[in-house]
Structure 1
Amino acid sequence: MTAVLRRQTVSVAFAALVLLVALATGSLLGPRPGLRQVVGTGLDAVVQHHDLLSVLTAAVFAPGLGALLLDVVAIVAVMGGAERLLGHGRTLLVAAGTTVLGIAAGIVLQAAGILVRGVWSQAPLDTLVVDPLIPVAGTAMAASAFAGPLWRRRIRVLGFTALVVVLLYSGEPGDAYRLAAGAVGLVLGLVLTRHAPRLRWRRSSHHETRSLLAAVVGVTAFGPIVAVVSPHGYGPLRPLGLLFRDSLPGAGFLRDPCDGFRSSAECARQVALAHVNGPGAALMPLLVLAASLAAAWGMWHGRRASAIVAVALNALIALLTAVFFGVLPALRHPRTLLGPALDGGPTLQTTLAALVPAAVAALVLLSIRHFDVRPRRTVALASAGAVVAALLVGAVPYVLAGALLPRQFAPRSDVLSTLADVPQRYVPIGFQRLQHLGLVPIGQPAHLIHDWMGPLLWAVVLAVTLVLRFDLAVAPGADDQRLRRLLRAGGSGSISYMATWPGNVVRFSASGDHAVAYREIGGVALALGEPVGAAAGRLAAAREFAVDCDDRGLTPVFYAVSPEFARALSDERRWSTATIGEDTLIRPRAFAMTGKRWQDVRTSINRAQRLGVSTWWTTWSDCTPAQRAQITAISEEWVADRGLPELGFTLGGVDELHDPAVRLMLALDAEGRVIATTSWLPTWRDDVQIGWTLDVMRRSADSMNGLMEFVIAQVLLLAQEQDLEFVSLSASPLALSDVEDDGALDRLLRVLSRVLEPAYGFASLASFKAKFQPELQPLVLAYPDALALPATGIALTRAYLPHLTARAAVRLVSAFR
């Protein structure tokens, strides 16, 4: 507790002030009207009454008890986190500055809205705002400038998404003040940073891109809840929020349905609304919300099917919004399209409500390439069939009821009218509140079908979304277990464990004793290494794989195999070969850091020990949440410094660290903070581990020079204790020694290596590994036909750069020139 008070002095003091003010003034339930007139701020208070002090007093009062508790937690957690980045003095300065300037900017925005009869035109001019979250939003955005690339992006994307969503769905003046304070805080943070900051977007990893998009989908899905809990909102998306509020007349209304209505038409309409106000109508919007959240959950885990569901749901909501709140009312009230609402007519701001879900759908669709995890084809088809079946199960009985039982509906139904009414039964009732309700059930059978056909469909959509979240094209089931057993029986080299990575297709031999992991790219079956399994029989498994590829019209190619295996293929099947890289092997049994050539490594070890740096041999699951966040932040910082997307194929990332068989060697500073991470893949023979292979190797930008030498040396010492046969510092793809060109493919690989070198440093990485005096083992690519070289080169490029965009491709070509 003492440490928290010392590190978060300003935020804790501010939280205590808000509590004490509430207790001292008896404002636990919110300021009384008289006190609110004194301490509240707003357009009327500042402009008309010139109460400039109110922009500060408004930030220390909460509007109610629930808000008070939420505000105190947010001040301690959010502003406290910002204070640890900003420091005490800057936090106090930013909190005061963003409160004053944010409220001022919000008032200007509110006044501009009134002038154009926009979002704020319905809000009372004398609305008085009290809200301690205004300085919280400002300090959080200011602190983002002092955070690393990972948290800087997260704070800004999620923070502004939440602020904008609340403004659009609630639309009260305080929401505008918070958003304006966040914008002011962002500018102040950029000004306060020492290193001439630039407001630019930095590249994020595929893992982080998926996480951010999932969070955006989740936050926007929660937007309607904001409209429900906000009693007096004026936001342009508030109509969408009303979909989740059961505001139709209840059954008690039917006891005296026409009391208080001037016309029989209005009375009849209210009776119709009461008829359709069953539990199904209230449940349907909740199912839509749950499906959106389930899709966001699946996106968080990289599921492409979940991303497609999110696109479909948001596009559907955008379409329904445009139709029911824009097109249909405009047909009845064309004069009100650009003006204030009249008798249910649309306004421009209501029509624009469709743009938010449409923008979310477009954003996810444009980033669909980042979602690599696909479901099994059978499960995807079964899911689509289940949705169609649910639609038909409701629609067919409904049409039959309308045709065979016309007296069950008012007005009397027939086939055409029932068919025309079917689409509305699957639309949440909130969209239809101001529209023609279509057929109204008056009999129990019709009422049952009418009420539950929509919820049935959306329940199936929710169930399907959850199923697609858990299903994998290459699931960790029987095939994965078979592959892992074969890996333990006989890994086919230092890269053999990469066969378990997502994106690979595994083909087992007819005997089941061997397996080939490959990727099908542009008609080329690019096999990763030699067949997995015992050494005896690998050539036969390769022959079987090649025959299967020929039968399917694919070109089989073996990537990163040993020269011996490549020669065997060449001798038997007349395949051509090309050297595509070198594996760097260290033999722990003969390892000793003696001699002048090891001077740099010994110096790094001594420097690390003087600075109190230690190492920890662990797994991802054994790391604490804070350590996992630090590892992810280091990785994001590394990715952000690259000008091209992350490489794939034989180069892993954060997602590959989660495997329990993968070990991590972390470097910790004197305070226990993770400052470097390396990951190590196992290799077995006859169920006995014989080696480790380096995969991920990343360190924080502010760590000491030579840190990686220290970390790798600790792994080598550990491997020596475990009596392992080898430690591989991993293959250096496209980093070739100066050997004579063997043909067109060699030249293509060298061109690709030169182009990617500035961003990924293959040559410099090979030079770094040379410090450990490794044994270099050539890695060979074997291919059956020289005519397949162009397709093979393209397949290799796409394997390493699966997410290469058109813009990045242009940069790649420009770099080559």
Structure 2
Amino acid sequence: MRVVGRALARHPLTVLAVPAGSLWMGVMTGLGELAHPVATAVAVAVTVMVLAWSESRIGILRTALAAGLGSLAPVAVASLLLAAGVALGDWYSQLDAADRLWAPSVVLVAVVATASRGLAPAHREGLRAAVLAAVLAGLLAGGHGVDLTRGVALLIGLGLGRILVPLSDRPAWHDPAASSARVVAATVLGTVTLSWWIAAVAGDGIGVLSPMGALLDPGSTVAVLTVLIVAVALLLRGRRLGLVLGIAALLLITGLLAWYYTVIPIAEGWFDLPADSWSDLELPLVVLTTWLAPAAALLVLVARRRSFRARADVADRAADRERVLAQLVASDAGSLGFMGTWSGSSHWFAADEPGSDARGAVAYRAAHGVAITVSDPLATAADAPATIRAFARHCSARGLVPAFYSIHSGHLPVFAELGWSVTPVAEEAVIDLAGFSTSGKRRQDLRTAANRAARDGVEAVWGTYRTLPEALRRAVDALSGHWADAKALPEMGFTLGGLRELDDPEVRVLLAVDASGRVHGVTSWLPEHRDGALVGRTLDVMRRGADPMPGVMEFLIATAARAFQEEGLATLSLSGTPLAAGAPPPDAAPPTASSRAC
């Protein structure tokens, strides 16, 4: 009883709707009024879930008003419209006047239309488009009285939303023109798809598109509907393939409808035209022009074809390296920013966007519909928020989902403002070089490694890959090859550099070499810039040779820390440890979570 009491207090409308829906179905079944009991049961269940969702979104009172007014007012308006149609001699109104005008789905439509006003812009637009497509499909293919009531409920629900529900204040980050064009294209194609499905499954439709149900045999109908569903999904994602599939399917549908319901009827003289009255003309006119609905959808898709652009511009990928480096040096891209210069990255510059007030840039890689960044934005702290928003709009215009990977916690407020989710994927160890020392118990391993290196004659050798002696360069190549061959997986790339990334004049290389010239270990250090100055280095490549000196990596890291400290750098980053969340090492600055926002 306590559970029931708590549920009744939190979701009273939902709890009451369950027995009410069951009772209504029982009564209608007894009266023989349910032509499709399974579909009705699904509608009742979905309505109950929508009521629970609405109660949690806009509250019990607003949901009650939406459900109550959204049930009574649409029935009253639909009754008046049908009465007017009957008085005018409309054939459809005469058929629908005797129909049932209410169903649980009327409440569903009204409540969803009302509560959707409080959603984020993209979710609001998408949900309303889906409801509109379903309602229009019911009107066009079903054509029953309850379909008219659902259409009125949608309009009344939208009006109630403006009165009862505050508009969401979450900023829209999508490109408005591209997003709206895709939603419109998906809506019209979705309407045709649902209309065909209703006409084929229901079998009792009298709407203008009900003839679609008899166009093809069941197998062909399922095949074309599958293509249409895929096309709608691709259109919503901004894919050109969806546009191509949708146009091809609509051409087929329009052609078949025009042939079977216009050309053949006219050729065989199905109708006596001209008719003496509107009532005699209405049905022939509807049949002969059935093809106009998919033809109109076809025109909408063709008109919006420019909103389905290529996902990656050649200009992005072919950005001048000097321009990228200049942007990197002048900005604050964090300890991982230099990874954005690696081969395979595309580069977007805010300055290239018309009307953009941002001055930063973003390095990213596009794959499988996602534009995943490889570092913080290449922007100053002041320009970073505007850069992130502008890049998100750029991705939206190209049908890409932006995902900021390896980004530091200082940018998280922007993602919270946009309503994006954030997931920690690694923890970065950053050493404050101003206070770095190898003394103390916690640094015993570093001192031991340094002492062993001195005893074994292992020395630290600095340089860049190209300035190393030829013998050492060949040794580094061999060491890297053996290291990669010993791994079960190939080199990861992306945010883990290899030999190709080592070969860069901006990257410093530190080797551990003994007296015989054997390389025990190799590390590489990426530059970190801020406001035009070199402020730190980040560990990238870290590989041991065969049978290396014990503690060789500790020796190389301690050597690098002392060298960078003497050069006046502020920090040394040991990069991120995947999925780690432990205590920071001694002398480390507060850890910065590398995060992904999408």
TM-score range, shorter chain: 0.5 to 0.7
What is the match of residue 353 of structure 1?
290
What is the match of residue 29 of structure 2?
30
What is the rounded CA distance, in whole Å, between the counterparts of 1:355 and 1:337 in structure 2? 24
What is the match of residue 296 of structure 1?
232
Superposition pairs of residues 205-224 of structure 1, within 5 angstroms: 206=178, 210=182, 213-214=185-186, 216-224=188-196
Q: How large is the Cα RMSD of the aligned pairs?
A: 4.9
What is the match of residue 131 of structure 2?
159
Q: Unmatched 5+ residue regions in structure 2?
A: 337-366, 369-384, 426-493, 504-523, 533-569, 572-598
Q: Secondary structure at the match of 2:206?
A: coil
Tell whether the 8 Å contact from 1:169 to 1:226 is kept in structure 2 after alignment: yes
Q: Deviations over 1:97-132 (max 9, x none)?
A: 111111111122223333444462451643334511
What is the match of residue 314 of structure 1?
250
What is the match of residue 529 of structure 1?
320
1:726 alignment partner, one of 515, 520, 528? 528
2:165 pairs with 1:193: yes
What is the rounded CA distance, in whole Å, between the counterparts of 1:687 and 1:5 in structure 2? 64
Residue 356 of structure 1 deviates from its aligned partner by: 2.2
What is the rounded CA distance, in whole Å, between the counterparts of 1:223 and 1:85 in structure 2? 31
Superposition pairs of residues 157-556 of structure 1, within 5 angstroms: 157-194=129-166, 204=176, 206=178, 210=182, 213-214=185-186, 216-244=188-216, 281-330=217-266, 332=269, 333=271, 334-336=273-275, 339-340=278-279, 347-373=284-310, 502-505=311-314, 518=315, 527-530=318-321
What is the rounded CA distance, in whole Å, between the counterparts of 1:312 and 1:726 in structure 2? 52
Q: Secondary structure at the match of 2:318?
A: strand
Tell whether the 8 Å contact from 1:668 to 1:675 is kept in structure 2 after alignment: no
Q: Secondary structure at the match of 1:726?
A: strand
Aligned partner letter, 2:113: M
Percent of pairs with identical residues: 21
Tell whether the 8 Å contact from 1:338 to 1:348 is kept in structure 2 after alignment: no
Residue 237 of structure 1 deviates from its aligned partner by: 1.0
Q: Secondary structure at the match of 2:323?
A: strand
Residue 687 of structure 1 deviates from its aligned partner by: 6.7
What is the rounded CA distance, in whole Å, between the counterparts of 1:227 and 1:684 in structure 2? 57
2:327 pairs with 1:560: no
What is the match of residue 585 of structure 1?
332
The structure with higher relative contact order (CA 8 Å, sep 6+) is 2
Q: Secondary structure at the match of 1:347?
A: helix
What is the rounded CA distance, in whole Å, between the counterparts of 2:407 and 2:292 in structure 1? 46
What is the rounded CA distance, in whole Å, between the counterparts of 2:59 and 2:146 in structure 1? 27
2:10 pairs with 1:11: no
What is the rounded CA distance, in whole Å, between the counterparts of 1:231 and 1:71 in structure 2? 18
Aligned partner letter, 2:107: P
Tell whether the 8 Å contact from 1:119 to 1:236 is kept in structure 2 after alignment: no
Aligned partner letter, 1:584: S
What is the rounded CA distance, in whole Å, between the counterparts of 1:689 and 1:289 in structure 2? 52
Q: Secondary structure at the match of 1:181?
A: helix
Cα distance, 1:20–1:317 mapped onto 2, change above 3 Å = closer
What is the match of residue 139 of structure 1?
111
State the TM-score, normalized to the length of structure 1: 0.40
Cα distance, 1:283–1:653 mapped onto 2, change above 3 Å = closer
Residue 6 of structure 1 deviates from its aligned partner by: 5.4
Tell whether the 8 Å contact from 1:312 to 1:361 is kept in structure 2 after alignment: no
Q: Secondary structure at the match of 2:287?
A: helix
Cα distance, 1:21–1:89 mapped onto 2, change above 3 Å = same
Q: Deviations over 1:207-242 (max 9, x none)?
A: 675466346524521322212333432211111223
2:446 pairs with 1:655: no
Aligned partner letter, 2:265: P
Q: Unmatched 5+ residue regions in structure 1?
A: 37-61, 245-280, 374-501, 506-517, 520-525, 531-558, 564-579, 590-619, 622-637, 691-721, 731-772, 775-817
What is the match of residue 593 of structure 1?
none
Cα distance, 1:561–1:97 mapped onto 2, change above 3 Å = closer
What is the match of residue 76 of structure 1?
48
What is the rounded CA distance, in whole Å, between the counterparts of 2:323 and 2:89 in structure 1? 67
Q: Secondary structure at the match of 1:235?
A: coil
Tell whether the 8 Å contact from 1:528 to 1:560 is kept in structure 2 after alignment: yes
What is the match of residue 508 of structure 2?
none
What is the rounded CA distance, in whole Å, between the counterparts of 1:587 and 1:311 in structure 2? 46
Tell whether the 8 Å contact from 1:12 to 1:75 is kept in structure 2 after alignment: no
What is the rounded CA distance, in whole Å, between the counterparts of 2:84 and 2:419 in structure 1? 49
Q: Secondary structure at the match of 2:331?
A: strand
Cα distance, 1:652–1:91 mapped onto 2, change above 3 Å = closer
Q: Secondary structure at the match of 2:291?
A: helix
Q: Deviations over 1:543-586 (max 9, x none)?
A: xxxxxxxxxxxxxxxx82446xxxxxxxxxxxxxxxx9984136
Aligned partner letter, 2:318: A
State the TM-score, normalized to the length of structure 2: 0.53
Residue 191 of structure 1 deviates from its aligned partner by: 1.6
Q: How many residues align?
A: 388
Residue 164 of structure 1 deviates from its aligned partner by: 0.8
